[in-house]
A and B are shown apart, each in its own frame.
Chain A
Amino acid sequence: MGVRRHSPIAPWLFGAPALIGLMLFLVLPFVMAVILTFTDQRLVSPRPGAFVGLRNYQRLLSVGALVQTPERSAAGAPVYARVRSITRGNRAYAGYRPLTAFRLGNRRVTVLATDPAFLQALGNTMLFAVLVVPLQCAMALGLALLVNAGLRGQTLFRAIFFSPVVMSMVIVSVVWAFLFNKDLGLFNQALGWISLGAVRPVDWLGNPATAMPAIVIMSAWQGAGFQMLILLAGLQGISQELYDAARLDGASAWQRFVHITLPGLRQTVLFVAVVTTIAALGLFTQVDVMTGGGPRGTTATVMFEAVRHGVREENIAYGATISVVYFALITLVIVVQQAIRRRRGGGVA
C-alpha cells in the first residue's frame, strides 16, 4: 500500500455515523441479549431478572442417554419400560425428555435432551436450508435465463416472476394453504388427475413427511424472483462476444451454457447462494402462518422456537439464549468456511 495520504482520524469520521448506528442498534441490543441469557428475566414481571448463571444454557443444551434392557418379550419383540415414566420419576433425569432412540443388541438406547424441541428445530432449519438454497437458486437461474432470452414481453414476465416477492406473506400463505389442502386443494386434484387416481390425496401440511418439503416449495417459489433479478444482472454482464466466438467455433447451446454462462456467473451465483442461505437460516414467517411449527414439530425452526419462548411465552432470557447459541453456531460455520476459502484463495467478503 502507498503512503497514507489522509489524517488518521478521517476513516473514523467517515465510518462514525454507520458504526455508531450499528453499535447502538445492533451490537448493544445483542450484548443485552447475551447478558439476558445469564438471567431469568421475563417480559412481564414485578422483579428485575436475577442472575442464574448458566441455567438457561443447561436447559437448552443438556443431552444424555438412557440405556434400557427389555422388561419382557411379547410375541418375540422386546418390551421396554416407558422412557417418560423413568425420566419423570428419577431425580437424576429431571428435566430430560426423549429426543430419539435406537437399538443396540437387545438394549434400547434413548437419547435424552432437556430441550429436544430446540435440537429438532435446529435439524429442521438445516434441512430447510439444504433443500431450499439449491432449489431456489436453480429456479432463479432458470427464470433468469428465460427472461434474458430476448423474447417478446420479457419486461412483463420479469415483473410477474418478481410479484411474489412483494406480496404480503400472509396472503400468499392463505392461498398456498388452500392449494395444499388434502381434500379440495389443487395440488392433490392435479396429482390425482395426472396419475388417473393412483396417487392418494396427501395432507401436505399435515403430514410430518411432507410438511417441510411443502414449505420449501412455497418459499422457493416466493423468493426466486428476487434471485432471478440479481442473476439476470450477472447474465447481462457476460460479454456477448464470447458467445459469438463460441458459436463460430460450432459450440452447441449446452456447451455455451456450460463453458461461458456458468463460469461467467460464478461470483453472482456464490453471492446469491450466500444471501439465500442467510435468509433460509432465519426462516420464520411462512412456518408461523402456515403450520405453526407442526405437525409434531417437523417444521419448527430455530427462529420459531426463539419467538415462541422469548416473545409468546415471555421468557425473554430463554429466547435470547436460543438466539445467542444459534448465532454462535452460524458464526463458527462462517469462520471455518472463510478460513478454508482463504486457504484456497478468493472469497466473497
Chain B
Amino acid sequence: MPSLVPQPIRIDCVRRAVVLFGLLLGSCGPPPPRGDRIDLVLWKNQVGLDEAAITNVLIDRFNAGQHRWRVIAQSLPQGGYDQSIVAASLAGRMPCIVAVDSPMVARYAWAGHLRPLDGQVSAALLRRVSPAAVGRYGGHAYAVGQFDAALALYTRASILRRMHTRVPTLDRPWTGAEFQTLLERLKAEGAYRYPLDLATRDDKVSWWTYAFSPMLQSFGGDLIDRRTMTSAEGVLNGAPAQAFGAWFQALFAKGLVARAEPDENAFVKARAAIAYSGDWWEPDFRKAWGSDLLVLPPPDFGHGVVIGGGSWQWAISRTCPHPDGAGAFITFMLQDKQIAAMSDASGNVPVTEHAAALSRDFGPHGQSRVFFELMRRFARQRPATPAFPTIANAFTFAMRDVMDGKDVQDSLDDATDDIDRALADTVGVDDRGRARGAR
C-alpha cells in the first residue's frame, strides 16, 4: 500500500495546520457578556449524575430569581482539581466561586486562594449549619457545604437474628467488644469467608482517611493533636492509636476482612455480612435486601461513635471581583428549600435541621433520616491544617502497611514523623493556625 506512506511533508500542509490551529483558538476565548448581568464563574468537581443535575437546577433557579448576577458553572475532572486551582491561581484566572473538599479548605485559605465568608454570608446563617459543614481556618469561615455525607454500618436483620445479636441503636451502638465478637462468630459460622467489607479494595487516600481516621478517634487517638495543631506525636502513635492499629491488623490476620474484595459488591452479593460504607451506597443495598437491610451507627470503641464530617463546600476566591455576588449565591444555596431539594435529588445529607424537616427523605419519618442523625450526632471534621495532604497520605500508607502485617508501632511512628515534618515545613511551629491567607 505505497499510497498510504506519508509523502514528504509539503509546506502547504503545515500552512493548513496553522490556519486550522488559529481557528481553534477562537473557541477558547471568554464568552461575550450578555445583558447587564455580571457573570460569576463557578468551578465544581465532577460528581455523580444526580448531584450534577440538581446543582445545575439550583444554579438556574438562582440565575432566574434575580437580575444582577449570572452564575456560569464549569465541571472539572476530580483527578486534577487541585492542580487546576493552583495553575489558575498562578495565571490569575481563578473563578469567583469554587467548590472545595472540606479537608482542603484550610490549605487554600492558608495559601491565600480564598477570601473569608465574613460579610458575604451572614454569621447567623452559618450558625444554623451543622458545624462539620463549615470550613474554618484561623478564626474565619472560608467555606460552607450545602450537604454532607455520613458513614454507617450496613447489615441484615435476618443475620443478627440468626446470630442472636442485639440490634444497636443511635443511643446504644455496639461496643468494640460486641462488634468483634459478632465478627468472629460470623467467621466461625462459616457462611462468610470475610464477614466484614471495609471497602479496602479502594486504595484511594481520600477513602482511607475518611473511613478509618474516625475509628482511630473512637479508640481515643487522632491524626494530629488538635489542641496545638502542630504535632502528631503521642496522638497518632500513642497507646490508643496502637490499640487501634493492632485491632485493624488483626481484622486481616484473622480473615475477618478481605485485603481486597474482587469487586465493590461484597455485601450486595452476600459475600459479606456487614459493610462499612457511606450513605451513597444505601440505594443499592436497599435494592438488594429491601426491608431486611439495617443501617446502623459504627461501633463505639471507647471514646464515642465518630464518623467523618465535611464534604464538598462552596468558597469565594480571593481574586473574585464580586464577592457580594458570590455571597448572594452561597446564601441562596443555603436556603432550607434549596438544601432539601439537593438532598432529595442526590441523596446527600442536608446540613440544617429545617432543611431536613422539609426534605422528603431526611424528614423525621423519611427513609434516610438515620443518616441525618448520624451526621448530627457523630460527625467530626478532619483537622483543618494546610498539611492535610501529607497527613492523609502518611496515615493511609501507615494503615496499609499495618494491614499488610508491618509492625504497628513502626508504621505509626513513620506516619507521625512524616506529619510532624510537614507541619513544621508548612505552618511552622510559631505559626499555628493563624491565617496567613486572611490578609
Interface residues of A (CB under 8 A from B): 40, 42-47, 82, 84, 88, 95, 97-98, 177-178, 181-185, 203, 205-206, 208, 291-297, 308, 311-315
A40 to B422, CA, bound (A): 11
The reply to whether A44 and B262 form a contact with Cβ atoms under 8 Å apart is no
CB contact between B410 and one of A44, A84, A295, A313 (< 8 Å): that residue: A84
The reply to whether A44 and B108 form a contact with Cβ atoms under 8 Å apart is yes
User: Which A residues touch B417, using CB under 8 A?
Assistant: 88, 95, 97
Most buried by A among B193, B401, B404, B406: B404
User: Which B residues touch A315, using CB under 8 A?
Assistant: 390, 422, 425
A88 to B410, CA, bound (A): 11
8 shortest interchain CB distances as A-B pairs: A295-B404, A292-B203, A181-B262, A46-B436, A44-B111, A206-B259, A313-B390, A296-B404
- Nearest residue (CB) in B for A293 is B397
Contact with A along B192-206 (1 / 0, CB 8 A): 010000000001010
Taking residues whose C-beta sits less than 8 angstroms from the other chain, chain B's interface range is 35 or more
The reply to whether A46 and B437 form a contact with Cβ atoms under 8 Å apart is yes
The reply to whether A46 and B205 form a contact with Cβ atoms under 8 Å apart is no
CB contact between B86 and one of A43, A98, A177, A183 (< 8 Å): that residue: A43
Within the complex, the shortest CB–CB distance from A25 to chain B, in Å, comes to 16
CB contact between B425 and one of A40, A181, A296 (< 8 Å): that residue: A40
Give chain B interface residues in 390-411, CB to chain A under 8 Å: 390, 393, 397, 400-401, 404-406, 409-410
- Nearest residue (CB) in A for B205 is A312
Within the complex, the shortest CB–CB distance from B383 to chain A, in Å, comes to 15
Most buried by B among A45, A291, A295, A314: A314
Given contacts A292-B203, A313-B393, A315-B425, contact A44 B401 (CB under 8 A): no
The reply to whether B262 and A43 form a contact with Cβ atoms under 8 Å apart is no
Q: Does residue B299 face the partner (Cβ distance < 8 Å to A)?
A: no
The reply to whether B263 and A314 form a contact with Cβ atoms under 8 Å apart is no
The reply to whether A206 and B404 form a contact with Cβ atoms under 8 Å apart is yes
The reply to whether A178 and B262 form a contact with Cβ atoms under 8 Å apart is yes
A45 to B436, CA, bound (A): 10
The reply to whether A45 and B111 form a contact with Cβ atoms under 8 Å apart is yes
Which secondary structure dominates chain B's binding surface? Answer: helix
The reply to whether A46 and B260 form a contact with Cβ atoms under 8 Å apart is no
Given contacts A46-B436, A183-B193, A315-B390, contact A205 B110 (CB under 8 A): no
Q: Does residue B426 face the partner (Cβ distance < 8 Å to A)?
A: yes
Pairs across A and B, CB under 8 Å, 11 listed: A42-B425, A43-B86, A45-B386, A181-B262, A183-B258, A291-B203, A294-B401, A295-B400, A296-B405, A312-B393, A313-B422
User: Which A residues touch B426, using CB under 8 A?
Assistant: 42, 45
Q: Does residue B414 face the partner (Cβ distance < 8 Å to A)?
A: yes
CB contact between B409 and one of A84, A297, A312 (< 8 Å): that residue: A84
Within the complex, the shortest CB–CB distance from B389 to chain A, in Å, comes to 5
Within the complex, the shortest CB–CB distance from A80 to chain B, in Å, comes to 14
The reply to whether B390 and A205 form a contact with Cβ atoms under 8 Å apart is no
The reply to whether A296 and B389 form a contact with Cβ atoms under 8 Å apart is no
The reply to whether A88 and B205 form a contact with Cβ atoms under 8 Å apart is no
CB contact between B263 and one of A42, A45, A178 (< 8 Å): that residue: A178
Give chain B interface residues in 320-355, CB to chain A under 8 Å: none
User: Which B residues touch A208, using CB under 8 A?
Assistant: 404
A293 to B260, CA, bound (A): 14
User: Which B residues touch A184, using CB under 8 A?
Assistant: 262
User: Which B residues touch A292, using CB under 8 A?
Assistant: 203, 400
Given contacts A43-B83, A46-B437, A312-B205, contact A205 B260 (CB under 8 A): yes
Q: Does residue B51 face the partner (Cβ distance < 8 Å to A)?
A: no
User: Which B residues touch A84, using CB under 8 A?
Assistant: 409-410, 413
User: Which B residues touch A294, using CB under 8 A?
Assistant: 203, 400-401, 404
The reply to whether B262 and A183 form a contact with Cβ atoms under 8 Å apart is yes
The reply to whether B86 and A44 form a contact with Cβ atoms under 8 Å apart is yes
Within the complex, the shortest CB–CB distance from B427 to chain A, in Å, comes to 11
User: Which A residues touch B260, using CB under 8 A?
Assistant: 177, 181, 205-206
User: Which B residues touch A203, using CB under 8 A?
Assistant: 259
A242 to B375, CA, bound (A): 78
- Nearest residue (CB) in A for B406 is A296
Q: Does residue B113 face the partner (Cβ distance < 8 Å to A)?
A: yes
A197 to B205, CA, bound (A): 37
User: Which A residues touch B422, using CB under 8 A?
Assistant: 313, 315
A252 to B112, CA, bound (A): 75
A82 to B436, CA, bound (A): 41
User: Which A residues touch B205, using CB under 8 A?
Assistant: 312
Within the complex, the shortest CB–CB distance from B326 to chain A, in Å, comes to 21
